[in-house]
Amino acid sequence: MANRELLSASQRCMYMLMGCFLAITLTDSMLQVSGSTTSAAACFSGLFIFGDSLVETGNAAVAFPARFNKTTQQAALSGFGKAAVLAGTGVRFSDVGDFTARALGLSPPSAYLNRNQSSQLSTGTNFAVGGSTVLDDYPTGSLSDPNFLLTRTPFNLETQIQWWRDLKSQVNFKATDGQLPPVNESLHFVLMGATDYLLQYSSNFSQHQVLASVPFIVNRIAKSLEELHVYGAQTVVAVNLPPLGCTSAFLSMFPGNSEDYDAYGCLKTVNTAILRHNQKLFRAVSRLQRTYKSMSSFVYADFYKSTYDIVENPEQFGYDKAALLKACCGVGETYNFSQTSTCGGTWVSDDGVEDQVPACGYPSSRLTWDGFHFSESVARTAVMNFFQEKHVQPANGLVPNYCKPNFASFQQDDAVVPETEP
């Protein structure tokens, strides 16, 4: 097939939401669903996810239909979890949770606020909401920013843990009832904090202020991780923050002088704060590992390293080095990102024509999809790493007792022919 045809075909899909990816993924998704009951090789019988948009699968659009307007954001959100979107689990900002579910042989986790049948809970659920923060004390203006990329939602980590506790007390959580998987045999996946740092930088906090906030953010996360243990979780994975200083959104919103960029073009200040956060989180998780040694397993997963590996060696991972840091879906100089014309919205071209913000033909050539949220291939790589004992501590944390993760449906969901840049 000619490159041209491929580009236009996937671009069409982008706007139709449903469509061409069905043919590629349906067989595997069906196999996944029919094999979703716990088998001898299954690692965990359920999956519960807590976080912000980096792991969310549709809660924000349910909670705030006008702000996360389904119609206008459709194109933006269709970049993620195409197989899952087709399976009816809704618009989303991320497919990290879908890949995690696939690795576990489970069907994609429903969005907690979007479920309407208890059967949708039988393999767990996703509590993550786009725009959620660990801490609450941010400028009130940040709550009402009309730009959804900078929108904060009021469902912090504590609230999400409370939802989990409420849910456990409301439904009978024996696996045999098909209601909720036993939490002691489920994986609890926590990835939050990115929105906290985005809000601080976009509120013009100084680097000193941002660094000073790190202990507060991490301590609150650590408290939540411990709470999960106290209320019955036995496996809790704390995922660290990815290099936000390499995302098109941060790069275009917070530009620096030449000395502010590392050898790969990422923002050093932002990544310094993120690394500080990660280091502190690692120590907190290590403490929990020691404290609850025989009772619970706490796992640290290094999303930063998994993603930064790609930044250091884009070609080795099949990315386009020249376009790596440009958003796939977006308009704007240098990084293909503009705060006023984000993916899913419209823009006015030089000749005055208003049109949908365009997307590139091969999302997996880029680090991010829409500037802020990582492309599907970054998510796929991270989850494969974690389930293959790479960038995870302890190494077998996600594959206890020699269970076998399931990578059968991990093939590329989007076109596999690299795009030629215009």
Ligand X SMILES: *[C@@H]1O[C@H](CO)[C@@H](O)[C@H](O)[C@H]1NC(C)=O
Rule CB under 6 A: which residues touch ligand X?
65-66, 69, 71-72, 88, 114, 116, 182, 184-185, 203-204, 326, 331, 333, 336, 358-360, 422
Burial 90-114 (b: 16+ CB within 10 A, else e): bbbbbbbbbbbbbbbbbbbbbbbbb
Q: Which is nearer to ligand X, 89 or 224 (CB)?
A: 89
Give the whole-angstrom CA distance, residue 354 versus residue 125.
39
Q: Which is nearer to ligand X, 281 or 357 (CB)?
A: 357
Helix 303-312, helix 268-291: angle, nearest 10: 140
CB of 385 to ligand X, least distance (A): 25
Q: Which of 131, 152, 279, 134 is nearest to 216 (CA)?
A: 134
CB of 245 to ligand X, least distance (A): 18
Q: Are 281 and 221 in contact (CB under 8 A)?
A: yes
Q: Which is nearer to ligand X, 140 or 204 (CB)?
A: 204
Q: Which is nearer to ligand X, 322 or 395 (CB)?
A: 322
Q: Which is nearer to ligand X, 286 or 334 (CB)?
A: 334
Who contacts 169 (Cβ-Cβ below 8 Å, separation ≥6)? none
CB of 72 to ligand X, least distance (A): 5
One-letter identity of residue 30: M
CB of 296 to ligand X, least distance (A): 11
Task: Break the chain down into helix, strand, coil percent, rounded to 5.
Answer: 45, 10, 45
Q: Would you state the structure tokens that stand for residue 246, as one six-digit string?
A: 């390499």
Q: Which is nearer to ligand X, 297 or 306 (CB)?
A: 297
Q: Which is nearer to ligand X, 56 or 309 (CB)?
A: 56
CA distances (Å), origin 344, targets 57, 71, 331, 353: 16, 9, 11, 16
Q: Which is nearer to ligand X, 214 or 360 (CB)?
A: 360
CB of 121 to ligand X, least distance (A): 11
Who contacts 134 (Cβ-Cβ below 8 Å, separation ≥6)? 156, 157, 192, 193, 196, 217, 220, 221
CB of 69 to ligand X, least distance (A): 4
Give the whole-angstrom CA distance, residue 333 versus residue 343.
15
Give the whole-angstrom CA distance, residue 372 versus residue 368.
6
CB of 15 to ligand X, least distance (A): 13
CB of 141 to ligand X, least distance (A): 7
